[in-house]
Structure 1
Amino acid sequence: MAKITDVKLDQPVEFIPYVNTGAHSSCLVDESKEIDSLIMSPDKVQFLINELTELDKLDILEETLQGISCRHDGTPLKTAFPDLIEFKVIIQHINHIYTYPVPSSLYALPLKELADKLSQWEKLGANEINIEFEEKQR
């Protein structure tokens, strides 16, 4: 498997909900935009990676990180596809760290949008998240 050092952390990252049945995975994003993916800005991506590293949880991405696709323009991607519940628990923990013991009015929950999307996708039947990073070119 690839390492996080194999991806560009200065580029947006896309989170896409999937249903994995064991035999195959199906994307829940639809053309009508009733279910859409989440594009995370590079500064939040870097924050996420820093927090996962600090919590010794980076393996949730690196266990599955591999080059299996590319964008329509040919940009190669490295995709991680962690279990939605396991990933959601980690994201909720990161958000909790920033609200304990008292929520600060100075800081919004750093990964609130991601946590909200994960909950929404779970309710719609997703059980896996594809996380698409741009691959570093050697």
Structure 2
Amino acid sequence: MAFLLENVSNMALQHKDTLYRLLSSFTDIGYNMGFRLLNAADFGVSQSRERLFIVGIRKDLGFFFEFPEPPLIRRTVHEAIGDLPQAATVTKNTFEQPLVPNHTTNWASPSPERLHAVILNPRNQRRGMRRLQWEDVSPTLTAHIAKDGREFLHP
């Protein structure tokens, strides 16, 4: 029997004691353990997402898991989504609804006016909304809406 666990990178960076207790517990019950921080961007995903991977393999199976060396294939945002239809062109003189097609404003999403301001002033952005860069990998995209799940905008 073997298992794979995946967790946030901070478990290895800021919670080492917890990580080593976990590894030790599995070693004590008969597993060969290994762990490694891997970044999805190094494996061709257009997103910088560093995660901790932990692998346990029963000792009686007689082998250790070896983590793959990443091929260091970096895909840019443009390579990932560059074939999508062009976003609407926005200028200071145009602000017509719908500025963002299929966009419904609610408590967690920015208003069309806020989107307009960010598009017109890409250098004047605060955490909460910023544009992706065409020729770079995307920062980690999160799935929760509470604080940063709506953070990134089309380049």
Structure-2-length-normalised TM-score:
0.21
Structure-1-length-normalised TM-score:
0.22
The structure showing larger relative contact order (alpha-carbon pairs under 8 Å, at least 6 residues apart) is: 1
| Rg larger for | 2
